[in-house]
Structure 1
Amino acid sequence: MKLIFQIILLAFLTISGCKSKHVNESESRSEAPKVVFTEFDLGERDLPKLKREVNDYEFIFTPEQLEKLTLIIRDFEKETTNQIAVVSIDSIGKYTDFDQFAIDLSNYNGVGQKEKDNGLTIVFSKNLKKIRISTGYGTEKILTDEICKNVIDRTIIPEFKNGEYYNGIEKGITELIAKWK
């Protein structure tokens, strides 16, 4: 009985303590609120729990861009069962290696079906100027490290250098999907 009461109290405090800030389109994207992960958002390894296909923790994409990327990813998953996650992140917390952070983030969140290991996660940080494509073992049989590196170097990075983060990610996903089918 005490446990139930404690859970209800914790839920009430969590819900009543949550506040959201509406960002007007006229406000600068650089003034967007920082995402600070609380103990309720982070798992045992200080990694965020991904809530959707596109997790924009740096507030880089517009709502329309988020929707378009999500539809591309969902349509591809319906067609193939392959899963894609995109994550923009401001920092990697206690990690010192961005690549390891990306791999652990993908594994922690179980991107891809366990029995097929058919996941792919694109983790990037505008702030840190880093990007990594992390693939499951089943996926890397088709999308090798070399293919992923070429997509990053030839497709995504040139767009990022022009400040076109959405275009880079959309073109990168489209190219990866074409090679993955």
Structure 2
Amino acid sequence: MKLFFKIIILSFLTTSGCKLQQNEKNEINTNAPKAEFTEFDLGESDLSTLKNVVNDYESLFTIEQLEKLTLLIREYEKKTSNQIAIVSIKSIGKYTDFSQFAIDLSNYNGVGQKEKNNGLTIVFSKTLKKIRISTGVGTEQVLTDEICEEVIEKTIIPEFKKGEYYLGIEKGITELMTKWE
């Protein structure tokens, strides 16, 4: 009888020990190194996939400012069907030409309706001190390169020089929207 109890206790300890080891294997190791990516580390391209109409990779805007810009852009799109994207970035990856990067980023993300080609993307970098407005072919018929350059030089850059990135973008977008209608 003692032998019977010893066998039962031994088998109980063996099976509960296996379950304990199995549970330990399923737990996530929190000491494992964490992967950190920039917006350009993923994929074969140096171009990020834009998730919103305002993509602030440099964290220059407050939450309230992001919401205001998003609302302004969404309301304009509902009214006109024209699409606008704003992107602040720290790096252009392997690109050497900021303007080409802005054009490729806009095309890669399909800003604007394909049949109307009515997109506009403002890409800027506080870190690199660069800005570019990229327009679709349909948009460029109204908002020429000259108009976009004028908005950059006379409206956006003066605010950027004061450190007012939100104000520069908001004034620039508003002016472009007025001229685009």
TM range (shorter): 0.7 to 0.9
> Does structure 2 conserve the Cα–Cα contact (< 8 Å) formed by 1:35 and 1:57?
no
Tell me, in whole angstroms, the C-alpha distance in 2 between the residues paired with 1:165 and 1:175.
Answer: 15
TM-score by length of 2: 0.79
Query: Residue 56 of structure 1 aligns with which residue?
Result: 56
The runs of 4+ residues in structure 1 deviating greater than 4 Å are none
Offset at 1:45?
2.5
Query: Residue 107 of structure 2 aligns with which residue?
Result: 107
Identity of aligned residues (%): 73
Query: Residue 65 of structure 1 aligns with which residue?
Result: 65
Tell me, in whole angstroms, the C-alpha distance in 2 between the residues paired with 1:171 and 1:121.
Answer: 15
Unaligned 5+ residue runs, structure 1? Answer: 1-12, 20-33
- 1:36 equivalent to 2:43? Answer no
Tell me, in whole angstroms, the C-alpha distance in 2 between the residues paired with 1:168 and 1:39.
Answer: 29
Query: Residue 81 of structure 1 aligns with which residue?
Result: 81
- Whichever of the two has the greater Rg, that structure is 2
RMSD of aligned residue pairs (Cα, Å): 1.8
1:121-132 map, 5 Å: 121-132=121-132
Query: Residue 118 of structure 1 aligns with which residue?
Result: 118
Equivalent AA in structure 1 for residue 85 of structure 2: A
Query: Aligned pair count?
Result: 149
Tell me, in whole angstroms, the C-alpha distance in 2 between the residues paired with 1:85 and 1:38.
Answer: 18
Offset at 1:35?
6.5
TM-score by length of 1: 0.79
Query: Residue 143 of structure 1 aligns with which residue?
Result: 143
- What is the CA deviation profile of residues 121-148 of structure 1, one whole-angstrom value per residue up to 9, with x for unaligned ones? 0000000000000000000000000000
Distance 1:39 1:90, change over 3 A: closer
| Secondary structure in 2 matching 1:138 | helix
> Does structure 1 conserve the Cα–Cα contact (< 8 Å) formed by 2:40 and 2:48?
no
